[in-house]
Amino acid sequence: MKELTLQTKVTACAVEEMNPSMRELVEKAKAMTQKAYCPYSHFHVGAAARLADGQIITGSNQENAAYPSGLCAERTTLFAANANYPQTRVEALAIACYTNGHFTKDAASPCGACRQVMLETEHRFGKPMQVVLYGEDMCYIFDSAADLLPMNFVAENLLG
């Protein structure tokens, strides 16, 4: 038996410290929180994805009274990007959350299902996708979606 140690590099910064391109992506994600349909949780989530050709695709969480039928902002955004631009890589994804009349002070982390979809989106193009989690007090930048889901499950796992 041996013990393994997993490490993840995360850059913590204020939004003002980001480059203009990343700040723009964060601002688009923040704007999308206002388009969320979340009458049950009142937790507004917005996401924005920058494609390799510079386009920005956005989405927000969409709840449903039958809870499993709703969808998170990350997945609405990535599914829209992949459905409409299947040959164009997603380079970066920004996520922002708004509740109780303000943006969250701490960056909220994506759920497990969203992490898996983020990983699949990254994996299908064979290049890392940067992920930015916005918080008013601190933002977190991951160089790859895989950093959010260590010991992940990808297509090669299906082959045995």
With cut-offs at 50, 70 and 90, classify the pLDDT of residue 160: low
For residue 17, indicate whether it is catalytic. no
Could you say which of 17, 24, 63, 74 is catalytic?
74
Vertex 71: Cα angle to 67 and 73 (nearest 5): 140
Tens digits of residue pLDDT in 55-104: 999 999 999 999 889 999 999 999 999 999 999 999 999 999 999 999 99
Packed helices 73-84 and 112-125: angle between N→C axes, nearest 10 degrees: 20
For residue 29, count CB atoms less than 10 angstroms from its CB and return exposed for 0-12, middle for 13-18, buried for 19 or more.
buried
With cut-offs at 50, 70 and 90, classify the pLDDT of residue 23: very high
Do 69 and 52 meet the contact criterion of CB atoms below 8 Å apart?
A: no
Choice between 7 and 52, residue whose per-residue pLDDT is larger: 52
Tens digits of residue pLDDT in 90-145: 999 999 999 999 999 999 999 999 999 999 999 999 999 999 999 999 999 999 99
Asked whether the predicted pLDDT for residue 35 surpasses 90, the reply is yes
Please compute, for residue 123, the number of CA atoms within 13 A of its CA located in the half-sphere on the CB side: 15
Strand 44-51 with 10-13, pairing: unpaired
pTM of the predicted structure, to 2 decimals: 0.94
How many Å apart are CA 144 and CA 154, to the nearest integer? Answer: 14
